[in-house]
Structure 1
Amino acid sequence: MSFIYIYEKNAKIGIKSNTVLIESSREKLTRKLPIEGIESIVIFGNASLSTNCVKELLERNISLTWLSSKGKFFGRLESTSNVNIFRQREQFLMGNDKEFSLALSKKFITAKIKNQITILRRYQRNRNVEKVNDSIRGMSKILHKIETAEDKEKLMGDEGIAARYYYEGLSNFVDPEFGFTGRNRQPPRDCFNSLLSFAYTLLMYDIYTAVVNRGLHPYAGFLHSIKRGHPALCSDLMEEWRGVLADSLALYVTSRGIISKDSFNRPDLDGGVYLNGEASKIFIAEYEKKVRTQSKYLSYADFPVSFRRGIEMQCLQLAKAIEEHNPDIYQPVVIR
């Protein structure tokens, strides 16, 4: 199953003869894509859809996500055929179980930190920067504290310290022209942070689609605080994938010259730095290559699966853990 990204300005989207038509008057071209095999469509900026197109997408259970050209979430169009109220009732119930929520939260954060350490070690092989060794040592110490955390507040505090160590270490592998010295966002104020934010946005709505398709509620999480308009469960599940899919991608495209400093627009009035239109297409294409890459990182599968399929399978594992009231069923992804 594939995701379709629409970034043409004022594109017109329609469906004819089992084919999705994406017309761009500005670029004077029409993309034609077979509707079979499409799982989700993501729109950046302005686009219009015919009534028949909306009806067809709903009937085929193809979700549609609207984002601004800068990645701000507007909303989603999705069928209700995947809603599993019985599963969601269990999800709400276990979300109020402090012991269950803490156990799951420790799994999310432990996997996140382990994967971040692995990313640093991979790039450290050919660099041997002492500051990076300091970051790894600091993160490893935090890792030992996670298991003994008595509540989520302490857990999130430790995770925040580990994140500072991580981004300090990561900055040693980013070309100075990208201006990265640490994490900043909303808006991202340098080129590398812009890539991280964009990759996290793409990953977030990959996970959102998988969560909804598996009958879970995207806004009822276990680690992240529940608040209006925030898909907390997606943020929970995203933790183990950040380093694996987003951070590693940002490092890859910058170190290989696929994305350069010239790929970005001038800072906007708020100081935000964003990819230009052509570079956005390139980055999305690289993201798609990444999530379609097959691996054997799932501890319970003895066969290779794509990262996107892995996200779906993790959602099913979480659903099973919720329904059986057993957090040990959920095994987060840890790369080697």
Structure 2
Amino acid sequence: MTLELLNTLYVQTQGTDLRLEEDSVRVRVPDQPGRRTLPLRRLDAIVVYGHVNLSTELITRCAQDARSITWMSRSGRYLGRLDGGVKGNVLLRHSQHQAHDNADTRIAISRNIVAAKIRNSRWVILRAARDAKAAAQESMRTVATQLSDATTEIPDAPDNDTLMGIEGNAARLHFEALRHALRPAEGIPPFERRIRRPPTDPINAALSFTYGLLRGLVHGSTEQIGLDPYVGYLHGIRPAKPALVLDLMEEFRAPLADRLVLTLLNRRQLRPEHFEYLPGGAVHLTDDGRTALIQAWQEWKQRTWQHTLAGRDVPAGLLPTMQARLLARHLRGDLPAYLPWTAS
């Protein structure tokens, strides 16, 4: 089955007004004359950042069409999402819940997720090492070897706590290697370590924002296939957390999110003027910085990647949907295991 890669409308200009106009969304930006209309049939999702107004009629129409609306903070922190009616076969969700309650099935899926995340991390590091200086290359290849060794521990991991320990150590090694690969513009301090809430330097701010974009993409894929985004395997069931979304994000973090940020910083497409320092130490992208990153993300989603199981190249924007479908097939009993995607 061929899937069309539709567009996501990202709106981050504060005070923008979105309204329904027949079968289109009308966009009015403050202090700009005129208005713009976009046909709804070409949009699969709307993502708004901060203070953006949506009319009740537009929200209702999106709910009826199962067109998602996602609300984010200005810094890119996920706030909430509207998807309309629950989609998918209830039997699939029932199978998903049963698999979560089966210890053997749950640990098998979790092991494959962590293995794919570490392999993709290693792939990104080795690719980045090609352009690094000699000393950095040696450090990055050492980390790649350590990550390879970490994958050998996964088959013997008895439970998810052990797996999360392996994953956490691999993530620390990954960001340690990423530090050697980053060559940002003058004025952007060197990357030291991953800091999340809130990010306190430009590189962490760019990473957090991009993870927010990735999370929205993966969440939409789980809903599209009919899975319950809140029942996961590696992340289990966590109040107010879409655990399955966090599970499926793992295999995409390094090749789709980290590598994009690495590219934008090293090419000077993200520069010091794209970041703002807030009282208290937090660092956020400016409006121009968010625009630059979102535009790059939209182009990045069009890039094709080899998908071994599908036997063809697949746009990055459709990879999460492919994987959600493979997970659904496994849960239905059509596949003996969940087969994660690895970059090549």
TM-score normalised by structure 2 residue count: 0.93
**Match of residue 312 from structure 1:** 321
Q: Secondary structure at the match of 1:109?
A: helix
> Could you tell me which of 100, 106, 109 is aligned with 2:111?
106
1:23 has 2:28 as partner: yes
1:149 has 2:160 as partner: no
Q: Secondary structure at the match of 2:198?
A: coil
Q: Is residue 100–residue 325 contact of structure 1 (8 Å, CA) maintained in 2?
A: no
Q: Is residue 244–residue 335 contact of structure 1 (8 Å, CA) maintained in 2?
A: yes
Q: Report how far residue 304 of structure 1 moved.
A: 2.0
Q: Secondary structure at the match of 1:42?
A: strand
Q: Is residue 11–residue 47 contact of structure 1 (8 Å, CA) maintained in 2?
A: yes
1:131 has 2:139 as partner: yes
**C-alpha distance in 2 between matches for 1:184 and 1:199:** 14
1:124-273, aligned counterparts within 5 Å?
Answer: 124-127=129-132, 128=134, 129=136, 130-175=138-183, 177-266=188-277, 268-273=278-283
**Match of residue 63 from structure 1:** 68
**Match of residue 322 from structure 1:** 331
Deviates most, 78-87 or 230-239: 78-87
1:81–1:151 Cα change, 3 Å: closer
**Unmatched tracts of structure 1, length 5 or more:** none
Q: Secondary structure at the match of 1:182?
A: coil
**C-alpha distance in 1 between matches for 2:79 and 2:148:** 38
Q: Report how far residue 81 of structure 1 moved.
A: 5.0
Q: Is residue 178–residue 190 contact of structure 1 (8 Å, CA) maintained in 2?
A: yes
**C-alpha distance in 2 between matches for 1:74 and 1:120:** 32
TM-score normalised by structure 1 residue count: 0.95
CA RMSD, 1 decimal: 1.6
1:40 has 2:48 as partner: no
1:231–1:121 Cα change, 3 Å: same
**Match of residue 286 from structure 1:** 296
Q: Report how far residue 57 of structure 1 moved.
A: 1.3
Structure 1 stretches (4+) deviating beyond 3 angstroms?
A: 26-29
**C-alpha distance in 1 between matches for 2:22 and 2:162:** 56
Q: How many residues align?
A: 333
Q: Which amino acid aligns with 2:323?
A: Q
Q: Is residue 179–residue 191 contact of structure 1 (8 Å, CA) maintained in 2?
A: no
Q: Report how far residue 37 of structure 1 moved.
A: 2.2
Q: Which amino acid aligns with 1:314?
A: Q
Percent identical: 29
Q: Report how far residue 326 of structure 1 moved.
A: 5.4
1:50 has 2:61 as partner: no
Q: Secondary structure at the match of 1:283?
A: helix
1:87 has 2:92 as partner: yes
Q: Report how far residue 54 of structure 1 moved.
A: 1.9
String of CA shifts for 1:251-274, please: whole Å, max 9, x gaps: 0100111001221011x2332111
**C-alpha distance in 2 between matches for 1:189 and 1:325:** 46
Q: Is residue 194–residue 274 contact of structure 1 (8 Å, CA) maintained in 2?
A: yes
